[in-house]
Structure 1
Amino acid sequence: MARRKDIDGSMSVPTFYGKELRWKREAAGLSLEGLLEGSFYGKSYLSDIEHGERRMPLDLARHVDRVLGTDQFFERHCEDVRRARRGPHAAYFEKVLEAERHAESIEEWCPSTFPGLLQTAAYARTLVRSAHPYARDEQVEEKVQARLARARLFEDDHAIPEYWAILHESLLLDPIVSPQQMAEQLEGIVELAERRRITPQIVPRKCGAYPLMASPITVMTFPDAPPLLYIEASYSGDTIDDPALVQQYRKAYDRLRAAALSPKASLARIKAAAGDYRHGEQPDRLE
């Protein structure tokens, strides 16, 4: 029989939850596959939960409680894990926060703001403050730092997703931060592109009608799971995994990509705009 180790009170909620799951599974004499028998989840998924790296879906928690006879322990506490994992992020963003860490590719279309994964602290702080005007400074800073932390996925050489961001030209021309802060925002994008971490493209202001004109979206693909679509509004967001609908959006995204400037021309445009802001000038509009 498995011997239970002393609990480290300093460990995080997801880590504690995962260790408890592993101890109960091993005490029952079950392998990962044995515990999952009769569910729709794979071995690597459960292993990630045991290591505190993934949330426990409610249906899987109920399955585990039933197999292990744990009196709804894992069902009752899976929401605690979800809250701990998302931190200061909005509840509706929970699935995206986890999914982007396991994604093989991430494709974003951003018509009105730079995507969270590419935002500098100054830019993120301005957006958070505009969305939460009565929040305390420490609450705002907590949200900003949580957003910046997401960009660490570009620094892990073993797990960097293929990241594609299509941006509207207006993001370069209508700044919401100071010229110097805008220069830093654009230079950050250039730096990531030149390190081959991301591929940005620009949709010109005068390109006419184009797909997804008013719909910012994120499409993520995975090596071991179906693709996921995320659509966000100001104070809400929705993740969609319906194959037909995801496919429809992906086709629209491909058409949008065809309407944008090439990656090379887009990067040159972003560089030029960054230089203009750095010198206190307003970038020229594409004609």
Structure 2
Amino acid sequence: MPGPKDLDPSSSPRALLGAELRHAREKAGLSQDELSLRLFVSGSFIGQLEAGTRRMQPGYARLLDEVLETGGFFLRNCGAAAKSRYPEHFAEVAEAEAQATAIREYAPLLIPGLLQTPAYARAVNRGYDPTAPEETIDEWVEGRMERIRLLDHPTRPVLWAVLDEAALRRETGGRAVMAEALRHIAGLARRSRIIVQVLPFSAGAHTAMEGALKLMEFEDAPPLVYFEGVRIGRLEDDPATVSQLRFTFDLLVASALSREKSLALIEALAQDYGHEEHP
């Protein structure tokens, strides 16, 4: 039988690579768990590779070629599947977002990327790198706006965001930029496109004080959780960790304002920011 064909980078490389992995694994008579033992990873990780929600790294591609006897196919093609316009630590997350059926996110310090306006995104990126050339900032903002287009679908993914009050009160880009950003969020909420709640200062100490949190669910792959720090990030698929952090998010929801009170606060702050000449 002829071997698998090299992938066309202009198509959907990760999806094709995942389909070829499933085909090669089944041809070898291995389950996902059995293959995972050969690679020293979890069975859910193999499932995510096959579903295209995880990026295949060269080290794993080399092992897959050895275990499945695919003649270097996966190593040759993992480069095409890895191309991305996003920073290395975030590229896999952006790709997973595009396939998620549900995203739950807690944002402690800034409005999350999927809810940003171009002006807010520009201010955030300029804050990240004050000396970057303007064309670089343009490219970063364009990439962020491209991610946001997934909300053009009327129902998928379900996006549930818990925003810390600190993220709403930090004047990022100035009062006019903040007014526009908060009106944008309120508009999405009023159109029932997103679920948004505010975690107020009055909530005091809470379960996620140490950082941001993003949970993603998929139709045909196990869920993922993403942790992010300063210019670093990590995806985690360990079921116990994902379950624990889902509970963390549930506790945040319980501590947050109701959807109605959250929307009222967001709109009130937007109105305050709109009076640009007055503190």
SS of 2:161's partner is strand
Instruction: Kindly indicate whether the alpha-carbon contact (under 8 Å) linking 1:121 and 1:148 is maintained by their aligned counterparts in 2.
Output: yes
Aligned CA distance change for structure 1 residues 203 and 60 (closer, same or farther; 3 Å): same
Deviation at 1:137, TM superposition (A): 1.2
1:254 and 2:255 matched: no
1:81 and 2:78 matched: no
Counterpart of 1:125 (choices 122, 126, 129) is 122
Deviation at 1:36, TM superposition (A): 7.4
How many residues are matched?
263
Per-residue deviation, residues 106-136 of structure 1 (Å, max 9, x unmatched): 1111110110111111111111112122222
Structure-2 separation of matches of 1:37 and 1:281? 70
Per-residue deviation, residues 68-98 of structure 1 (Å, max 9, x unmatched): 743x24313413431x2x21x1111122112
Structure-1 separation of matches of 2:270 and 2:77? 48
SS of 1:113's partner is coil
Counterpart of 1:38 (choices 30, 40, 52) is 30
Deviation at 1:37, TM superposition (A): 4.7
Structure-2 separation of matches of 1:12 and 1:118? 30
Counterpart of 1:181 (choices 153, 177, 180) is 177
Aligned to 2:237: 241
Aligned CA distance change for structure 1 residues 263 and 74 (closer, same or farther; 3 Å): same
Per-residue deviation, residues 245-283 of structure 1 (Å, max 9, x unmatched): 121111111111111100111011111111222232778
Counterpart of 1:138 (choices 129, 135, 144) is 135
For structure 1, the residue ranges without an aligned partner over 5 or more in a row are none
Using the size of structure 2 for normalisation, the TM-score is 0.80
SS of 2:173's partner is coil
Identical pairs, percent? 36
Structure-1 separation of matches of 2:88 and 2:79? 11
Aligned to 1:269: 265
Structure-2 separation of matches of 1:233 and 1:17? 26
RMSD: 3.3
Structure-2 separation of matches of 1:141 and 1:39? 45
Greater shift, 112-121 or 207-216, is seen at 207-216
SS of 1:102's partner is coil
Aligned CA distance change for structure 1 residues 179 and 61 (closer, same or farther; 3 Å): same
For structure 2, the residue ranges without an aligned partner over 5 or more in a row are 33-45
Instruction: Kindly indicate whether the alpha-carbon contact (under 8 Å) linking 2:101 and 2:217 is maintained by their aligned counterparts in 1.
Output: yes
Aligned to 2:199: 203
Instruction: Kindly indicate whether the alpha-carbon contact (under 8 Å) linking 1:39 and 1:63 is maintained by their aligned counterparts in 2.
Output: no
Instruction: Kindly indicate whether the alpha-carbon contact (under 8 Å) linking 2:25 and 2:68 is maintained by their aligned counterparts in 1.
Output: no
SS of 2:120's partner is helix
Using the size of structure 1 for normalisation, the TM-score is 0.78
Aligned to 1:278: 274
Instruction: Kindly indicate whether the alpha-carbon contact (under 8 Å) linking 2:17 and 2:74 is maintained by their aligned counterparts in 1.
Output: no
Instruction: Kindly indicate whether the alpha-carbon contact (under 8 Å) linking 2:89 and 2:232 is maintained by their aligned counterparts in 1.
Output: yes
Structure-1 separation of matches of 2:207 and 2:136? 36
Aligned to 1:213: 209
Deviation at 1:12, TM superposition (A): 4.5
Per-residue deviation, residues 142-193 of structure 1 (Å, max 9, x unmatched): 11110111111111247x1111111111222221222111111011111111
Aligned letter for 2:151? F
